[in-house]
Amino acid sequence: MLTDSDAHASSTRQSAQANLSGRLGTGAIVFMVIAAAAPLTVVGGNVPLAIAGGPGAGAPVGFALASLVLLVFAVGFVTMTPHVPQAGAFYAYATRGLGDRVGVGTAAVALVAYTAIQVGVYGYLGWAVNDVLHTFGGPTLPWWVWALAALGIVALLGYRHIDLSSKVLGVALVLEIVVVLVLDAGIFARGGAHGVNVESFTPHAALSGPLGVAVLFAITGFIGFEATAVFRDEARDPERTIPRATYLAVLIIGGFYTLSCWALVLAAGTDDASAVAQKTVDSQGNMLMDTAQTYVGTALRDVMQVLLLSSLFACVLSFHNVIARYTFTLARQDLLPARLGVVHPRHHSPSVSSVVQTVTALVLVVACAVIGLDPLVGVFGSMAGLATVGMILLMLITSVAVVAFFARNAQLSAGRPWQTRIAPLLAVAGLLTALWLVFSNFTLVTGGGVGVSIVLGVIPFLAFIAGLVRGAHGPRGRS
């Protein structure tokens, strides 16, 4: 006869052995990825920065180029997907192509990058709630009050089955994309400030300023891109769903950013776009909201302000789910405590990893509040900069892993040189260029001084080295 303790132990073992499950289709996974990108947040924040600090009216070219780099990267990523049976995204690909030690190093970079951007968005969210409340005459409270309230809701949703999170993210995402597309349509319908034109896409406009700055802020807007493969175990048909979701996510995100950036340039006028965007950078205006006021009226502007909050919330929820599944996968590989690999018996979620992720975010948000960091520059700016470096490093390692994998398995690459060699190598070249652009303009992303920016930029590389050391001594680190 089993005692209560025996029954509990048996249940724990079964939970530890169970796998994540779900019926996520292509659309649901695309929602997860685009929600993590927070499109409304990028259009309202990254786009003005790209216009003001970059080539002005030519900024849409920067978003188009970043989309092209990501699309080329996706070719090798998708081609290797059938040969990577486990979830874990970049970690799993690096392990398969470059070995266990590099895989663990990649996982360390991912955990640092995603944790950083999630904390950064909590700071942005806290600031944005106060901004909206101030607009409508509400109370102003410390940013961390709203950040902690959002963290509590994220903790509840992240603990439950992934289908619940996907529904919440889907609703938030559809609303924020619709409202920006309505604005874009209004701008094109009225002809912008001086008529619809394609001057933004001419070489003269694209090279009129530092195009690399626009590319930099565009790449920052793609953080969360790998989430297509993170949800492999919960996909309906991963062999087909993951490739479709990956390509769709890049095309939708890139097209949306490029179109919306072009629309905002037309709304301000190609000659005046830089000056209008600079007012946003200097906190003397808000390019997105002011444009909405002019072209679609006060009501839609107010709706857009509220939806900015849902955009930011969807973003932190998506990152929470990604980080929880990373730690879950690493626990299943004996690289983290086995308890983190437990699946909830009823919700079929990585519940313990989700709780640990909540506690980690809580500690970091509280630390930022105690130190007294500004929620935008100190929290969001610095964490976004760190995460951007981590994101590019992750994709760079993954592209090298694709090349190495197919070089060792020539029979799998026969007749497919574009997918297995040419595209991944082009991605490596493009990502190295992007990394150089990021470091060349890093203070623009972090909002801090040179010294602070150097420290933040080095952290992902230190995480990679620490992962290499851990991989050499862990169960998966043996050659």
For residue 479, the model assigns a pLDDT of: 34
- Residues 6 or more apart whose CB falls under 8 angstroms from that of 178 comprise none
Q: What is the pLDDT of residues 168-219, one digit of tens each?
A: 666 767 788 889 999 999 999 999 999 999 999 999 999 888 888 888 888 8
Find how far residue 238's CA is from the centre of its chain: 21
Residues 63 and 57: their CA atoms lie apart, in Å, by 12
Task: Please name which of 42, 50, 40 lies closest in space to residue 278, comparing C-alpha atoms.
Answer: 50
Question: Can you give the pLDDT at residue 324?
Answer: 85
Per-residue tokens: 101: 């030690």
Task: Give per-residue pLDDT as tens, 461-473.
Answer: 999 999 998 877 6
Tell me the per-residue pLDDT of 272-310, one tens digit each, with 9 for 90 and over: 999 999 887 776 778 998 999 999 999 888 888 888 888
Place of tokens 């920052």: 220
Q: What is the pLDDT of residue 286?
A: 81
Structure tokens belonging to residue 478: 């043996």
Residue type, 401: A
Render pLDDT for 334-357 as a digit per residue (tens, 0 to 9).
Answer: 777 877 777 766 656 677 888 888
Residues 7, 19: Cα–Cα separation, whole Å: 20
